Structure 1
């Protein structure tokens, strides 16, 4: 089959750019207004497109919302994919914690939108949670279970370890206003970010019977 012509590649590139712009705008709007509070007109305006153009790429607001949520899941679960059975447990856990906190710092809207969907019962994301998410968590729980079986970490419940890391790291995105109100600081402050990483590592590693080491 002959390769795509230059105009075809250009059209495809333009389409991908517009699609990304729509998803970025939708994340911003959905994360503050939710599905029902957001409007297609507002998202289109934020993306710099007409409503008709937006609906060419996404047939409905609900379809766009699900696409944004799937993109969020890909972003937030990518660090978990990297949890390697052959890695040193302390190094692997520390990398995972740092990556999750970096996402809370750099993509807080993604975390807040995901949290909003879960609090509402995940009506449009249930299949994703029970399918790809569950499969990934089970696979990584098996990695943690292998570390336990080989005596490399203390015997903990692998699922609850993952949940605990999620709860701590995503708190700094979902409750950023509360963190700032109490401390006057947030993860955008490099010193506060470093202290948050160190504190979270110390808590989790101590529970696993592992020693905290320098970054």
Structure 2
């Protein structure tokens, strides 16, 4: 009997996790297109294909769903920056960071728009993260870049503005993908836009930052 109860409990937990994932997937779709202020629980429930009371059993508020998505997003979104290795070759580290950010823009465009919407609305739900863990991480990696500059491996630059510039240029391909594809036109190989962007951005950043070998 104890084994049967344990199996039932495990099965219920797995089902609950699956339901939560369905809800978060629906919430991501709604938040990324409508923003936090424009989204409603009714809209999320409709996309999730469940009743509002059923949804509220798993997430009691719209804020709870949004924060769960933002926590997951920030964990994944900042992983490439955390991987910035002080003992690595600066050119390879920057090239790898650019590539990973573009891959995320390609593979997770809704998450990028979710973050952009949050920032445009004044970051009411993640201001503590921006001023706390995010700032700490950027400051830490800025010191890594300064160490490369001091060693003569990179030209002098403002490390934090370098990081901002990488964010801006890579996430553009997620947040403004409709514009990018429209401007490239139907006659161009749009499927290659992320690889073309990677090649261009590598030359843009590395060409200006890495000293030329005599």
Partner of 1:176: 177
Partner of 1:13: 14
Say if 1:90 and 1:210, in contact at 8 Å, map to a contact too: no
In structure 1, C-alpha distance between the alignment counterparts of 2:111 and 2:14, rounded to whole Å: 24
Partner of 2:127: 126
SS of corresponding position for 2:78:
helix
Partner of 2:146: 145
- Deviation by residue 1:102-123 (Cα, 9 ceiling, x = unmatched): 1111111111111111111111
Partner of 2:66: 65
Instruction: Summarize the Cα distance change of 1:151–1:8 in structure 2 as closer, same or farther, 3 Å threshold.
Output: farther
In structure 1, C-alpha distance between the alignment counterparts of 2:103 and 2:167, rounded to whole Å: 13
TM-score normalised per structure 1:
0.88
- Deviation by residue 1:42-64 (Cα, 9 ceiling, x = unmatched): 21232233322221222101221
Deviation (angstroms), 1:31? 0.8
SS of corresponding position for 1:124:
coil
Count of equivalent residues: 206
In structure 1, C-alpha distance between the alignment counterparts of 2:136 and 2:87, rounded to whole Å: 20
Are 2:155 and 1:154 equivalent residues in the alignment?
A: yes
Which is higher, the Rg of structure 1 or of structure 2? 2
- Deviation by residue 1:91-143 (Cα, 9 ceiling, x = unmatched): 11111111111111111111111111111111111111111111111111121
Instruction: Summarize the Cα distance change of 1:155–1:189 in structure 2 as closer, same or farther, 3 Å threshold.
Output: same
In structure 1, C-alpha distance between the alignment counterparts of 2:190 and 2:15, rounded to whole Å: 36
1:11-50 mapped onto 2 (5 Å cutoff): 11-50=12-51
Partner of 2:103: 102
In structure 1, C-alpha distance between the alignment counterparts of 2:145 and 2:18, rounded to whole Å: 39
Deviation (angstroms), 1:37? 1.9
Question: After the TM superposition, which segments of 4 or more aligned residues of structure 1 sit over 6 Å from their partners?
Answer: none
Q: Gaps (5+ residues) in structure 1?
A: none
In structure 1, C-alpha distance between the alignment counterparts of 2:166 and 2:211, rounded to whole Å: 15
TM-score normalised per structure 2:
0.89
Partner of 1:135: 136
RMSD: 1.9
